Amino acid sequence: MGKKKTIFRQVDQLFSMSRRFGESKVKIKNQGKMAGALVGAKTYDDYRSACMRWAEDLAERRGTNKFRICDVKTDEVRNFLERVALTHRPETVHQYIAGIKKLENMVNERFGRVDWRIEDFDKPRRSREDVTVQRGPAYTPEEADRLIKRMADVDKRAADALEFIRATGCRAESIFGRQVKKGQKVVVNGRVVKNTDVIRDYSKAVTADRIDLKNGTVTLYEKGGKWRTVKYDRQYQDLMEKLVQESNGGRIFKGLKQPTMYRRIKTICSKEGFEGRGLHGMRKTFAVRRHEEYTERINSLLENKDWRTLAKDFPLSNQKAEAMCERPYEETVNKVARLKLTKDLGHNRVEVTYRYVVKAL
């Protein structure tokens, strides 16, 4: 009989064998392998971390880490998810559910048959009103101006980065790259004998060739390994030209340190008398302004009964655009503006925009 593997080793093996970065999703689906495959680096990291925490909890409760993953019972999975739901936010619970479901698919494809009945677990829901309070509101235009101006006195490159986020709504990883942990933390008798190594992946950091000065767009490579192209306001044209010229074709914000920049933001905001919301607050400022622009644009088209342009510029069919011109409800205008904003922010669900642009009272 061969040596029994730890649950951690089994999870690690499954994730390693299921990694298919850069491959065509269509090809994988045609092979019938999509359920057990991972094609996105961010999804891979998030799901693996969630499943490793689940494995640690399971090993602790069983009193051993050496058992077959195929022997894990449905009740053990459900018990873990129920405890997570008691102490974590709904979106975190959803991530655990998705990660363990993906692990179940991997097990069925490679190790043996299991049925943890994860789809029967009641996912917690989150109201839009609760979503809006996360991470604080957007910077007001005045606050954003003051923050950028004061930052320029200390570090002009950092000020340009803040302005770039306000122009494009990009995430922090587009500025600094993304931190990646390599290796597994090992604890023996309560002592850490091996730590994870933290490196920075610069593949997502914006480069000069991703800025299209002629068309006024920036192509971003962000969350989940997805590409998106966002149009910036022409008032930022001088900034974009400056960034392209000074970068010499490489990374635009090379050399900026994320901890240093966050510390300076906090200090400046404290001196200026308003709350610092990091870089994400500037991303929200972009979202608020873009939502206002879309709302004004939609109302103007509705006033002129121009359903053709409405259907062309916004995610609407001709039929829905015509119906909207006949019945221009305020709630519908808001929904259509948010649909387009969702794409600008790189999200898939319109509900997420309520984290950036609060619901009107």
pLDDT in tens, 47-106: 999 999 999 999 999 999 999 999 999 999 999 999 998 888 888 899 999 999 999 999
Alpha-carbon distance of 222 to 229, in angstroms, equals: 11
Residues 186 and 233 in one domain: yes
Residue 134, domain member (yes or no)? no
Q: Is residue 2 part of a domain?
A: no
The answer to whether residue 361 is domain-embedded is: no
The mean of the pLDDT values for the chain is: 89
Residues 99 and 187 in one domain: no
| pLDDT classification of 312: cutoffs 50, 70, 90 | very high
**C-alpha span between 285 and 146 (Å, rounded):** 13
117 with 32, same domain?
yes
Q: How many residues does the chain have?
A: 361
Q: Is residue 178 part of a domain?
A: yes
If DSSP codes are grouped into helix, strand and coil, which group holds residue 355? Answer: helix
Q: What is the CA radius of gyration of the chain?
A: 24
Domain endpoint, select from 84, 100, 126: 126
- Domain-embedded: residue 338: yes
Question: Do 236 and 339 fall within a single domain?
Answer: no
Boundaries of domain holding 119: 7-126
Asked, for residue 69, whether it belongs to a domain, the answer is yes
155 with 167, same domain: the answer is yes
Q: Tell me: do 275 and 305 sit in the same domain.
A: no
Share of the chain above pLDDT 70, in %: 91
**Which residues have a Cβ under 8 Å from the Cβ of 21 and sit 6 or more positions away?**
38, 39, 40, 41, 44, 225
CB atoms within 10 A of CB 213: 13
Query: Is residue 82 in a domain?
Result: yes
Q: How far is 53 from 59, CA to CA, in rounded Å?
A: 10
How much is the pLDDT for 64? Answer: 94
Same domain, 256 and 347: no
Confidence of residue 222 (pLDDT cuts 50, 70, 90): confident
Whether 187 and 269 map to the same domain: the answer is yes
Q: What is the DSSP string of 83-139?
A: HHHHHS-HHHHHHHHHHHHHHHHHHHHHT------GGGS------HHHHTTTT--PP
Q: Are residues 252 and 289 in the same domain?
A: no
- What confidence score (pLDDT) does residue 134 get? 41
Residues 239, 292: one domain? no
**Between these two residues, 286 and 178, which has the higher pLDDT value?**
286
* pLDDT of amino acid 1: 42
pLDDT at 132: 37
Residue 136 in any domain: the answer is no
227 and 325 part of one domain: no
Higher-pLDDT residue of 216, 199: 216
Which tokens hold the place of 12?
Answer: 């690690």
Q: Tokens at residue 248, please?
A: 């010499």
For the stretch 125-135, pLDDT in tens is 765 444 433 45
Of the three residues 280, 302, 325, the one that is the final residue of a domain is 280
Task: Work out the pLDDT band at 223, boundaries 50, 70, 90.
Answer: confident
Identify any residues that bridge with 194 across adjacent strands, giving them in sequence order. 186
Confidence of residue 136 (pLDDT cuts 50, 70, 90): confident
Contact criterion met (CB below 8 Å) for 321 and 307 = yes
* Residue 79 sits in the same domain as residue 189: no
Residue 224 or residue 32, greater confidence: 32
**Separation CA 141–CA 315 (nearest Å):** 28
Per-residue confidence band for 185, with pLDDT thresholds at 50, 70 and 90: low
Domain boundary residue, one of 280, 298, 323: 280
Structurally, how many domains does the chain consist of? Answer: 3
253-272 pLDDT, tens per residue? 999 999 999 999 999 999 99
- How far is the C-alpha of 224 from the C-alpha of 165, rounded, in Å? 19
In the three-class reduction of DSSP (H, G, I as helix; E, B as strand; rest coil), residue 180 is classed as strand
Query: Does residue 307 surpass a pLDDT of 60?
Result: yes
